[in-house]
Structure formats: structure tokens, C-alpha cells
Amino acid sequence: MNGLVPIPATLPIIARFYPRADWVWVGTQLFALAIPLVFLLSGLSPRLCAFCERVAGGRKYWVITIFACLYLSLAALVTLPVGYFADILFRRAWHGPTPTTAQWLVGQGVALLRECILAAALLWVPYTFVRRTPKTWWLWSTAVLVPLLAVALGVYQLILTPLWTPYRSPDPVLASRFEALAARCGATHVPIYLFSGPGETVVGVGPFRRILVTDDPNLSQDEQVVLFAHELKHYLLDDTWKPIVMLAALLFAGLWVVHIIGGAAIRVFRRRLGFSDLADPASFPLAVFILSLSWFLIGLPVFNAVSRHIEFEADRFALELTHLNRAEGLAQVYFDKYQLNEYYSFYRIWRADHPSGSARVRLANTYHPWTAGKPSVYGKLCRMP
């Protein structure tokens, strides 16, 4: 412990930047929501779908795949100027770090390619079920999509990402400190890798998970150890099967909402929309609109609240396991130097998936039940010092 870490204040320029960045973020979200609406209300969706049917010769898989890829490409193209303003021009005006225009464009292209690959791999599932079992398609689709998405995520994290992210093993001294902590929690042979850049994390789920720790040279060894202990909590408790359960719950709820609201919208506005069934591939923009709106209004605030709780508990676990309170506080001050250190309501609800820097430093400064002989919250999980 020894020595309290001063609670970090938000730099004045950062405090002025964030509320404006919120407006830009809301504008970008609303613009993204408007695109499927325009497709639906202008009659563009059934016309584009008819074109895809001619191109695909009526073969159902290809109709939905070509339609989805064309829709996603057009949406990406229309969004390009808005995204450029939000990601590049706005940030540059505030002297924030930005990629070059070429790097940004490549990133947009890769994101579109990823969306099209996912659409080609997965969209046939709900469209097959909605044709064959129109009342319970959302249930069967979730059951088939969850394992497919879990495999896709695992392949992306464990096989593809290492191709462009150099990972290496920690040096022996650091590795032995990491392994000693893990062993106190009964975990042996934990795969631990170092990488350059911010954002320690656990990737993969179940038996395929591994811990990634940053090798930032500005961090002391104690700081790296306490950051590793934070990830160890995710490794032991959060990334076993919880992400799969969460994915299933999100898909289940999202597809059910599409079933209820999409079905009702088609019944009321079928003439305007130009299609009369959710099974028609022209309904894809309607599903995108309903999923995006429900995520924005309900899903994201709930996800952020759950995530902040999980992260706060990982900090608590790290402190209990290491007693390195000062190192924890200093690491948070270092990482949050250019962040908002005290949240206001809008930011907390919609944009923050981690506790604020000041909340984390406050925890590091004040959380030490062991000094008063009180039990640890995670005392049953690991042998605490």
C-alpha cells in the first residue's frame, strides 16, 4: 500500500472536449439510424431486392447475401463523410491523435469487408428459419447462430489477430511473478503474452482463453503485476462461459424484438414498405433499424452498466490478491491522463464501459480490508496474502 495517490483531475481541454464529442457521437448514431429508414420509406429496399433476385437467379442464399452486401456497402459509402468528420476532422481540431486519411480509409474498408463476410456466413440462418417456422424463428436462429458466432470470434481472436499483432512471452522475472499469482488461485499453465500498445485483456473463451498484458516501458513491474491480477480475475471468472451466455441473451432479445416490432411494422406499413413478410430479404434494413435502435436505447446502457461492475470487481480482486494499492492507483493515473476522470450522467450511461479514473484511484486508496483484519470478497477463490 504505502502512500495515497492523488485523485486525478481531468485536464481542462479534455473537460471541454468530451461534451462536444458526445454531440458528435449522438449525431453519428442518428445518421446511422436514418439510413435504413430512408431505404424503407423511399421504396429503395424492395427495388434493390428485385435487382438482387435477377442477379442471383432467384437462389435464396445469394439473394439475401448480395442484397445485404449491397446495402452495407451503400450505407458505408453514405456514412463516409460523417465518419471522416467524427473520427478525423473533429479530433484534429482538438489536437487529438488520429490516423492518416489513408489508414482511416483502409480501416473503413476492412470493417465493411468484415461485415460482408459475417452477412454471407450468418444471414441465411434467420432468413431460412423465418420462412420455415415464422412464429419461433428467433428462438431457432439464436440456437444456431450462437455457436457459429462463438467459433468466428475465437478464430478472429486466436488465429487472425496474432497475424498482425506481435505477441511475445514476458521476461522470466515478470513471468514468475505472474505465475505465482495465478498459482495462488489454482490456475497453472495460464497462457500469458506481452504486446505493445494499450488495453490489457483476456481473449478467447473457455479452454481457449489467454491473457494479454501490455509491455508499456513506462509501467513499473509492480504496476504490471497489479494489471495482470486484474486480467486474472477476468480469466478466472468472467471469460469462462459468460461471454457466450451474454451473446446468446443479446441475440435472443434482439431477434425477438425484430419478430414483434418488425412483424407489427410490416402489418401496419406494408404498402409503404413494399414487402409483406419478414422472410422477404427486403426486410433486412428494417431488422437493422430495429436492432440498432434497441441497442442504442436499451442494450448499450445495460451493457455499459454490467461492464463497469465487472471491471470494478476486477480492480477489487487485483487489490486483494496483490495489496499493491499504490501501484494500482499510479497505473490508473497514467492510463487516464488524457481521459475524462469524473463522469457526468450521459457519459456514464451511454459511453463508459469502465469505471472513471478517479473512481478507480479512490478504490485503490481506500480499499484494504486486510489492514483491519476483515475478510476478502474473493478469499474463497484464491489464497490471499
**Nearer Cβ to Zn ion, position 259 or 360?**
360
Nearer residue to Zn ion within complex by CB, 280 or 328: 328
Nearer to Zn ion, 144 or 310 (CB): 310
Number of residues in contact with Zn ion, rule: CB under 5 A? Answer: 2
Query: Which of the residues 280 through 319 are near Zn ion (CB under 5 A)?
Result: 311, 314
Tracing cell 420509406 back to the chain, one arrives at 41
CB of 350 to Zn ion, least distance (A): 19
Give the nearest distance from C-beta 116 to Zn ion in angstroms.
31
Per-residue x/- marks for Zn ion, 226-265, CB under 5 A?
----------------------------------------
Region 314-373 residues binding Zn ion, contact defined as CB under 5 A: 314
Grid coordinates given for 133: 417456422
The cell numbers describing 321, all together, are 490478491
The DSSP-derived string for 197-255 is SS--EEES-GGG-EEEEE--TTS-HHHHHHHHHHHHHIIIIISSSHHHHHHHHHHHHHH
We find the least distance from the C-beta atom of residue 173 to Zn ion, in angstroms, to be: 24
Least CB distance to Zn ion at residue 162 (A) = 21
Binders of Zn ion among 46-105, rule CB under 5 A?
none
Q: Compare residues 177 and 354 and give the one whose CB is closer to Zn ion.
A: 354
Contacts with Zn ion in 199-218 (CB under 5 A)? none
CA distance 228 to 236: 12
Which triple of cell numbers denotes residue 93?
Answer: 481540431
**Residue placing its CB nearer to Zn ion in the complex, 53 or 200:** 200
Give the burial class of 318: count Cβ atoms within 10 A of its Cβ; 0-12 exposed, 13-18 middle, 19 or more buried. buried
Half-sphere exposure of 193 (CA within 13 A, CB side): 17
Report the alpha-carbon distance of residue 159 to residue 166 in Å, rounded.
Answer: 12
Q: Return d(Cα 29, Cα 293) in angstroms, integer.
A: 9
Indicate the residue among 216 and 311 with the shorter CB distance to Zn ion. Answer: 311
Q: How far is the CB of 227 from Zn ion (least distance, A)?
A: 9
C-beta of 144: minimal distance to Zn ion in Å? 31
Nearer residue to Zn ion within complex by CB, 123 or 321: 321
Q: How far apart are CA 79 and CA 31, in angstroms?
A: 8
The region, left, alpha or beta by phi > 0 then psi within -120 to 50, assigned to residue 24 is alpha
Could you tell me the smallest distance in angstroms from the CB atom of residue 200 to Zn ion? 7
Residues that bind Zn ion (CB under 5 A): 311, 314
